[in-house]
Amino acid sequence: MSDVITIRVDRKTRDRLEKLAKAMDRSKSYVAAEAIRSYVDLNEWQIGEIKAALKEAEAGDFAREEEVEAVTRKWRRGAGKVAKARA
């Protein structure tokens, strides 16, 4: 079951929504609902991750210097391989 809401968007966004809906062979309502659902999902996830990270930080749960160095070395090696492959 779905509920009806009313939102205001600028004319340019409305026009883009109409074009997108037409290209997808969907209604504007469907496309807008999917966009809102996606936005809410992403932002809920990000806020959850931020809150979890803050909890860890407040508890003093930080990576040790050795762990940070190991990850840095790993990424440097990976970046070097990518650079060589592109050359």
Report which of 55, 3, 64 is spatially closest to residue 33, judged by C-alpha positions. Answer: 3
Closest CA to 32 of 63, 4, 60: 4
SS3 84: helix
∠ CA 63-59-49, rounded to 5°: 75
Q: Which residues contact 2 (CB under 8 A, 6 or more apart)?
A: 33
Would you give per-residue pLDDT tens digits along the chain (87 residues)? 889 999 999 999 999 999 999 999 999 999 999 999 999 999 999 999 999 999 999 999 888 999 999 999 888 887 777 667 776
Query: Hey, where are the domains in the chain?
Result: 11-61
| Distance (Å, whole) CA 62 – CA 81 | 29
